[in-house]
Amino acid sequence: MAPSKKRSVKPAKGAEKCIKTAKIDLVSTVGRILESSKHGNEVFDVFEFLQFEKETNVITAVNACSSLFCTLLQRKELFRGKLPAEDDALSGDYSAVDKYHIFMRHRYNNCVEMLLEHLSHELHEVQEASLCCLMKFAAGEGQDPLEDLDWSEHYSFPRELIQAVVDRLVSRTTDKSLLISRFHEFLEKEDVRYYVMSSIRENMGQVMEKSKGEVMPVYQHNVFTLMSNISIPKEELELSNFMVTQEAKHEDWKAAKLIEHKRTFERMWLAFLKYKLPSNMYKKVLVILHDAILPHMSNPTLMIDFLTAAYDVGGAISLLALNGLFVLIHQHNLDYPDFYKKLYNLLDPSIFHVKYRARFFHLANLFLSSSHLPVYLVAAFAKRLARLALTAPPTALLIVLPFIYNLIRRHPSCRVLIHRPSSEDELLEDPYLMDEDDPARCHALESSLWEIKTLQRHYHPDVAKTAMLINTPLSQKEDNISEVLEITTFELMERDLKQTSKKSIPLEFETATQLLKVGKDVMGQHFCLE
């Protein structure tokens, strides 16, 4: 039977206190509603709990809503098709059953709206409960669609509900990282992931158009956090975990095709990267670009403009762009004429102190591993690193010196930097031009690695020992620099302390008997206290 009358969704004044006193059992309330349509109006009692301030009441109401409407969806007791206005339905030519279904469909919509608002609740537990409930609704709608959908393209997926959830997750004012991490579980479903990617792109188009592309740190952080949780399967056969399952999937359903996943993934990231990003966000993207973005794109070469622009920025951003450029150069035949010139100019004193030092030297080692590089270029890198080594910390020197030795091993023509024939007129100045940007004009081949000779008197014994290797013929086997790329000053000190703890260190001193009097009163002869 149809409900007796329409009630307001919002609780009346004092309702919270009255309901608390009465201790209404929501489980029993839901049971009565599901048992008979004559109890339909009791759904408002559940909604009143849903709008309380106390956390336990809200979460209890969310669970009650989940149980109620998931069951109604399964029973197909919610009106399907274009939903008429509630007043029109009550006065129109509908059967009592249809009127009840229309009434509950409107209540379902009210519930969804309140749960979406709770995704911005001040308590994370309420946000999480609401999110899980909404995703249960999405699964229920997927099995029994409430609207007539375009089956040839979208199958029966509730994309509008997913779009609404995504819109709340990428808030413009509140950091949603914690809730997004909970949402990661649902991204394991192939169809959810596909429509989430589409929803992110659509949301960015609307938000960034209104803001005219200006930097929006909180919003862009939320979008990045959500996107960085998305990864695409490598093989078509891996697309097997769907939220919406039916006996026979339509052949044209895009969410079931790997190529469509890759295209949507690609469009999503390109839409994000076409707008101006904060510096810290720029770095976060570049850190994951080579292994979490490029491999999942249908056409990775579309990132060429972004990476080359990042490579030209300078500083840490240029260092981080190396990873992506390495993938494009070696796997997608990217031609970058001035690449080595730019790499050469990245070598400055700050390279030894940045967070991404290990990553840079690992990639630089790969880029300079080819035996077909011109000798002047290799000599320029070796000489510039040697010059920078004069002011580098010990941890960096333990990377740089083996790095230079490996360059010389790969290119025997560079041995002239070590064994330059003596001439009648000894060079009074080093011909190498440190300020020259072009490695072809810096005169590195006309110079020598006297800097390494200088480092043989370094205060740190490990550095001095490594620098001494240049006095002997270098072995053919290259040094494995990966072992020292991540070494820190703390680790270096710990290693030295362990070595010295096994030895007895001789000390010579005379015990002081009083202030400024030591032994033969040498201090007292030269200093006095007034």
What confidence tens digit (pLDDT) does each residue in 405-448 have? 999 999 999 998 987 655 445 556 889 999 999 999 999 999 99
CA distance 256 to 192: 11
Q: Which pLDDT band holds residue 278 (cuts at 50, 70, 90)?
A: confident
Q: What percent of the chain has pLDDT over 90?
A: 48
Instruction: State the residue range of the domain holding 452.
Output: 337-530
| Domain membership flag for residue 497 | yes
Tell which of 238, 261, 276 closes a domain: 276
Q: CA dist 449 to 183, 372, 408, 467, Å?
A: 56, 22, 11, 11
Instruction: Find the DSSP H helices in 76-145.
Output: 86-91, 96-118, 124-143
More confident residue, 489 or 530: 489
Among all chains, which residue has been given the structure tokens 């990217």?
334
**Contacts of 248 by beta carbon, 8 Å cutoff, 6+ apart:** none
The whole-number average pLDDT for the span 107-133 is 95
β-sheet bridge partners, residue 517: 514
Condensed to tens digits (0 to 9), the pLDDT of residues 464-519 reads 999 999 988 888 889 888 888 888 888 888 877 777 666 665 555 666 666 666 55
Asked if residue 369 and residue 420 are part of one domain, the reply reads yes
Condensed to tens digits (0 to 9), the pLDDT of residues 250-272 reads 566 788 889 999 999 999 999 99
How many C-beta atoms lie closer than 10 Å to residue 228's C-beta?
15
Least confident range from 33-42, 491-500, 515-524: namely 515-524
More confident residue, 13 or 228: 228
| Domain membership flag for residue 348 | yes
Residue 18, pLDDT > 50, answer no
Residue 194, pLDDT > 90, answer yes
Calculated CA dihedral for residues 308, 309, 313, 316, nearest 10 degrees: -60
Give backbone dihedrals phi and psi of 220, rounded to 5 degrees, phi first: -65, -30
DSSP assignment of 396-432? HHHHHHHHHHHHHHH-GGGGGGTSPPP-SS--SS---
- What's the confidence (pLDDT) of residue 497? 75
Residue 40, pLDDT > 80, answer yes
The candidate with the shortest Cα–Cα distance to 463, out of 473, 475, 453, is: 453
Asked if residue 109 and residue 175 are part of one domain, the reply reads no
More confident residue, 512 or 459: 459
Question: pTM for the whole thing?
Answer: 0.80
- What's the confidence (pLDDT) of residue 423? 45
Asked if residue 124 and residue 55 are part of one domain, the reply reads yes
CA distance 487 to 396: 9
Q: Is 158 exposed, middle or buried (0-12, 13-18, 19+ CB in 10 A)?
A: buried
**Contacts of 302 by beta carbon, 8 Å cutoff, 6+ apart:** 266, 270
Give 351's Cβ-side CA count (13 Å radius): 28
- What's the confidence (pLDDT) of residue 490? 84
Asked if residue 193 and residue 113 are part of one domain, the reply reads no
Residue 402, pLDDT > 50, answer yes
CA distance 252 to 269: 24
Asked if residue 429 and residue 408 are part of one domain, the reply reads yes
More confident residue, 169 or 488: 169
CA distance 499 to 422: 41
Give backbone dihedrals phi and psi of 223, rounded to 5 degrees, phi first: -65, -45
- What's the confidence (pLDDT) of residue 21? 34
Asked if residue 93 and residue 189 are part of one domain, the reply reads no
The whole-number average pLDDT for the span 19-34 is 72
Residue 12, pLDDT > 50, answer no
| Domain membership flag for residue 436 | yes
How many C-beta atoms lie closer than 10 Å to residue 199's C-beta?
22
Q: What is the mean pLDDT of the chain?
A: 85
| Domain membership flag for residue 511 | yes
More confident residue, 244 or 176: 176
CA 183, chain centre distance (Å): 15
Asked if residue 179 and residue 139 are part of one domain, the reply reads no
Asked if residue 213 and residue 122 are part of one domain, the reply reads no
Asked if residue 445 and residue 393 are part of one domain, the reply reads yes
Asked if residue 258 and residue 113 are part of one domain, the reply reads no
- Helices 190-210 & 217-227, crossing angle to 10 degrees? 160
Residue 225, pLDDT > 50, answer yes
Q: Which pLDDT band holds residue 64 (cuts at 50, 70, 90)?
A: very high
- What's the confidence (pLDDT) of residue 111? 96
| Domain membership flag for residue 63 | yes
Asked if residue 244 and residue 171 are part of one domain, the reply reads yes
Residue 10, pLDDT > 60, answer no
Calculated CA dihedral for residues 420, 421, 424, 428, nearest 10 degrees: 0
Residue 14, pLDDT > 80, answer no
Give backbone dihedrals phi and psi of 512, rounded to 5 degrees, phi first: -75, 135
| Domain membership flag for residue 512 | yes
The whole-number average pLDDT for the span 133-139 is 95
Asked if residue 99 and residue 47 are part of one domain, the reply reads yes
More confident residue, 11 or 299: 299
β-sheet bridge partners, residue 514: 517
| Domain membership flag for residue 238 | yes
* Number of domain units in the chain: 3
CA distance 255 to 102: 31
